[in-house]
Amino acid sequence: MAVAALIDYDVKDDHIAVLTLNRPGAMNAMSKGLLDELNAHIEKINASNTIRCTIITGTNEKAFCAGADLKERKGMTEEQVIEAVTYIGSTVTAIENMKMPVIAAINGAAFGGGLELALACDIRITADHAKLGLTETSLAIIPGAGGTQRMTRLIGAGQTKRLIFTAKRVTAEEAWRLGLVEQVTPSENLLPEAIEFARAIMQNGPVALRQAKTAINQGAQTDIMTGLSIEHLCYKETLATDDRLEGLQAFKEKRKPVYQGK
């Protein structure tokens, strides 16, 4: 009997990759097997010349991702635990570094490493019933896959400390008010709205999207003058592209541009 995939992969409109975490019985927790499959898909998508946006979501409405697989971790030595946490962290960073925009469609609970995964995405859309939190201190540990850093950069140190110190689980509405997510939607509309968002993105120049993501992500880690220099370098990367010429020609001819990503 074939083993069910832990990550479902689909492509919409030729240019949108949809990755669905598929361990519903374990609240889509990040086992080694799931992480192996996720990394394989990330590598495949990054190598593609046609995928212009990626959506990451989870199976059913119960959980986006509950974080690390604690049952799998139960019999591990301290060294093995560190190795497992490092693997989650490197996978989350690989998502952050994907060359195209990545949307987290948060279909249910996103706790611990599950929220850290969402924080590494460029845009977060959440179902209105979902709850989110970096709850690690309730287990006498701390977020170890980038949560302390990415959340701080997103919503500030004070709110991050409040959420992590209390292990608080926030509602979708509070997450939106904090700036933790960019959009809240009824559960049944989640994936359709994420796909519509991706369609709006993919109409634009692929090289420009890649360079804009680089400028924003790298510039955010520096002072303003260094950030402006990064922006300038990224802008220059768009100048010699066929897409830029196509954009100008389409504007002149009052039609939609057809971008090729080169």
Closest CA to 72 of 26, 8, 112: 26
* Annotation says 113 is catalytic: yes
What is the rounded distance in angstroms from the CA atom of residue 108 to the CA atom of residue 123? 16
Name the amino acid, one letter, at 179.
G
Closest CA to 84 of 74, 95, 94: 74
- The one catalytic residue in 108, 113, 114, 247 is 113
Beta bridge partners of 19: 9, 56
* Annotation says 72 is catalytic: no
Is-contact 45 98, C-beta < 8 A? yes
What DSSP assignment string belongs to 184-239? EE-GGGHHHHHHHHHHHHHTS-HHHHHHHHHHHHHHTTS-HHHHHHHHHHHHHHHH
- The one catalytic residue in 26, 63, 66, 68 is 68
What is the rounded distance in angstroms from the CA atom of residue 107 to the CA atom of residue 72? 24
Q: Which residues of 215-243 are buried (b: 16+ CB within 10 A; e: fewer)?
A: beeebeeeeeeebeebbeebeeebeebeb
Q: Is 2 helix (H, G, I), strand (E, B) or coil?
A: coil
- The one catalytic residue in 105, 109, 133, 136 is 136
Is-contact 205 250, C-beta < 8 A? no
* Annotation says 146 is catalytic: no
Is-contact 228 251, C-beta < 8 A? no
Catalytic positions are 68, 113, 116, 136
